[in-house]
């Protein structure tokens, strides 16, 4: 199991390298949750 810090360098690299499908999904979920929070703040402004 990789540490969450693995996500830090950049989410776009993961789509190119595809180190592991489960890791990909985990990272995408993490990224999406961040994005959704960001979009929510914009929508409520």
pLDDT tens-digit map of 1-45: 455 544 445 555 545 555 576 776 788 888 888 888 888 888 876
pLDDT of residue 11: 55
8 found inside a domain:
no
pTM of this prediction?
Answer: 0.36
6 found inside a domain:
no
pLDDT of residue 17: 59
CA distance 42 to 11: 22
3 found inside a domain:
no
pLDDT of residue 18: 57
pLDDT of residue 29: 85
> For the chain, how many structural domains are there in total?
1
CA distance 30 to 14: 13
């Amino acid at each position: 199991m990789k540490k969450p810090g693995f996500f830090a360098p950049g989410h776009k690299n993961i789509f190119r390298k595809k180190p592991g499908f489960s890791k990909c999904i985990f990272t995408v979920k993490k990224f999406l949750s961040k994005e959704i929070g960001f979009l929510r703040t914009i929508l409520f402004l």
